[in-house]
Structure 1
Amino acid sequence: MRTALTDLVGCRHPIVQTGMGYVAGARLTAATSRAGGLGIIASATMSLDEMTEAIRSVRERTDAPFGVNLRSDADDAAERVEVLIKHEVKVASFALAPRQELIARLKDAGVVTIPSVGARRHAEKVAAWGVDAVIVQGGEGGGHTGPVPTSILLPQVVDAVDIPVIAAGGFYDGRGLVSALAYGAAGIAMGTRFLLTTDSPVPSAVKETYLAAAETLVTTRVDGVPHRVLRTPFVDSLERSRLLRAVMNSARFKRLSGLSWASLIREGRRMKHGRDLTWAQVLQAANTPILLRAAMVDGRADLGVMASGQVVGALADLPSCDELITRIMTEAETVLERLAQHQGS
């Protein structure tokens, strides 16, 4: 299936695996790209050296195109950009707000730039900077998300910009791919669906928690901004927390992480910058990487935060990335053929 996305980045199928912290490492990224999609390394939870090694590892596993997701407010963001350029990474994606100078440097070097946006005005802003495409995530998506559903946001953005638009939030099968194409998208991006594959490094016990889940909620108690996660007793306790509980949590996660109090406060202040956060939220924001790691790496579903899209309630299996992408494309072709038959009758 050829679309503006496949033409732009050189993947065989218009399916993107999003950069999920502690989940989208070299293993999952390479498996996705080998299967014909576009895998994206999540570098925000990696050191510069770890990101560089992940890029090398993907290169060893596949010659298919892949990308790296960057955090533009990282202290070493400019250095990370230079690593992508040096290693000829095909795509740079950005979560949250990218920086115009980073976009310009990547574009000058021939790297395809694809930021994620959650509002039409943000898409218009980055399109004016000259980005190559945008990922548009509706409110159904996991992790940081907005209030507008994909079915409303996607056509708004498609109509507003003249670059390829990739739809995210609520996609997991071939029917969803066809619907996104009908709205004018060039492909779909999925997080939760790729997390629940055999190629995902997430511990089995945590995957089982996802498969058994029926409900997500959007909370600001994780890091001060809307965050869609699985509803668990731990998340419910965060929802009820006050400053004292946040301080106690910070002390507990400080011990788990080995970080100094200075590091936690520095991270908290950075998370607070430009946001109207309470100090309880600031302290919790500083813990966010540890909360994610507790579940995604250590397997502590009782202690960690598990970002999840609403599609989790529709997922019941753990295919490989190859099986998943093949299934989605087969379903999409079947749907398109059926629609063509109806039109001809």
Structure 2
Amino acid sequence: MIEQRLRTPLTELTGVRHPVVQTGMGWVSGPRLVSGTANAGGLGILASATMTLDDLEKAIVEVKERTDQPFGVNLRADAGDAADRCRLLIEHGVKVASFALAPRPELIARLKEHDVVVMPSIGAAKHARKVASWGADAVMVQGGEGGGHTGPVPTTLLLPSVLDAVDIPVVAAGGFFDGRGLAAALSYGAAGVGMGTRFLLTRDSAVPDAVKQLYLDHGLTDTVVTAKADGMPHRMLRTPFVEGLEETSAVKRLGPTVRRTREFKRDSGLSWWQLARDGRAMRREQGRSLGQMALAANTPTMLKAGLVEGDTDAGVLASGQVVGMIDDLPSCEELLDRIVTRAADELGRAAAYTLDATD
């Protein structure tokens, strides 16, 4: 394990050794992967959207049993029990609260009062300005290359627009998988990088080995962005199941949508009233239509089928375009060691191009 070689606002803010974040991927970012990342010196983020409140507390306790290093938890800001989940973070001394959407100002204030770092994920400069004005400590910005829910603007354009908009640390995500990318992001002015697909494809990831191999078999052009899964643009591996979704009409998707909604209700422990309440919040916060809200319950179930159960005939596999650049399954420690070493070397090499004023 290498010692710290890069000091950035992210390492200073969170106390991690390396400016690399393992993003909160549903069904993937569990205690094993989060603790593996934390022990290797990065910032592991536990994904809680697919967990009940009790499951989340058990997962936090397990991470703390596996590591004494800082880690974070990803939360849905529009969840009906978001305040209760934040209470768990405070009680257990979790270092970072990561949010998929902008948390309310009062929620940010409560977390900051207890020294929890607040880092929402945003998709546009205007959103970064809003959460910064509410007191967020940092933001993560994901470009269109990233997996899961994503936008149309590439990281190379989205990142500088956000950096110009705010003066808090910015973590760049979407298209990062090695030390060259980390060096490039730091050169832009980012405080670090976030990676999802690259951490999914490690030995510390609990994703079934056969599914990992399927990822490794895909190339740079083998992902697709579709709204047919849950009504919002979602980047995933191009598989026969996904191609079938693309070709199926809304009427034919209705039956499976209802079935998956029932499965998600069972897995999440939510009542129908709670699902409806969260749906109203989703519609208010994200502007989703009724049809999109109905589809939204599909995502956790289809991701679970693919990423947990290994059933690629009935599940989707979220993936960034970087899948086409990955060909191995290192441990988190091996991955972070080589990323940080390469980044430091690249930054040193680039510095040689700079001329002194006397030259």
Smaller-chain TM-score range?
over 0.9
Could you tell me whether the CA contact under 8 Å between 1:209 and 1:301 is conserved in 2? no
Match in the other structure for 1:240: 247
Could you tell me whether the CA contact under 8 Å between 2:159 and 2:172 is conserved in 1? yes
**In the alignment, does 2:195 pair up with 1:171?**
no
Higher alpha-carbon deviation: 283-292 or 112-121: 283-292
Could you tell me whether the CA contact under 8 Å between 2:22 and 2:195 is conserved in 1? yes
Could you tell me whether the CA contact under 8 Å between 1:265 and 1:283 is conserved in 2? no
**In the alignment, does 2:139 pair up with 1:134?**
yes
* Cα distance between partner residues in 1 of 2:253 and 2:338: 44
Match in the other structure for 1:253: 260
1:320 to 315, 326, 331: 331
Q: How far apart are 1:76 and its partner, in Å?
A: 1.0
Q: How far apart are 1:340 and its partner, in Å?
A: 3.0
What is the SS of the residue equivalent to 1:166?
strand
Structure 2: runs of 5+ lacking an equivalent: 1-5
Query: Where in structure 2 are the equivalents of 1:138-149 lying within 5 Å?
Result: 138-149=143-154
Structure 1: runs of 5+ lacking an equivalent: none
1:70 to 66, 70, 75: 75
What is the SS of the residue equivalent to 1:302?
coil
Query: Where in structure 2 are the equivalents of 1:18-57 lying within 5 Å?
Result: 18-57=23-62
Match in the other structure for 1:277: 289
Match in the other structure for 2:223: 216
Could you tell me whether the CA contact under 8 Å between 2:78 and 2:282 is conserved in 1? no
Could you tell me whether the CA contact under 8 Å between 1:96 and 1:116 is conserved in 2? yes
Deviations 1:201-253 (A, max 9, x none): 11111111111112111111121111111111111121222232222212543
> Percent identity at matched positions?
60
What is the SS of the residue equivalent to 2:24?
coil
Figure out how many residues of one structure are paired with residues of the other and give that number: 344
* Cα distance between partner residues in 1 of 2:271 and 2:50: 19
What is the SS of the residue equivalent to 1:301?
coil
TM-score under structure 1 normalisation? 0.94
Match in the other structure for 1:59: 64
Q: How far apart are 1:139 and its partner, in Å?
A: 0.8
**Does the C-alpha gap of structure 1 residues 338 and 304 become closer, same or farther in structure 2, counting only changes over 3 Å?**
same
Larger relative contact order (CA 8 Å, sep ≥ 6)? 2
Match in the other structure for 1:330: 341
Could you tell me whether the CA contact under 8 Å between 2:105 and 2:135 is conserved in 1? no
Match in the other structure for 1:229: 236
What is the SS of the residue equivalent to 1:300?
coil
Could you tell me whether the CA contact under 8 Å between 2:265 and 2:272 is conserved in 1? no
Deviations 1:109-146 (A, max 9, x none): 11100000110000000000011000011111111111
TM-score under structure 2 normalisation? 0.90
Amino acid at match of 1:237: G
Match in the other structure for 2:200: 195
* Cα distance between partner residues in 1 of 2:74 and 2:265: 25
Deviations 1:245-287 (A, max 9, x none): 22221254367557499479736666555534363x4432222
Could you tell me whether the CA contact under 8 Å between 2:20 and 2:194 is conserved in 1? yes
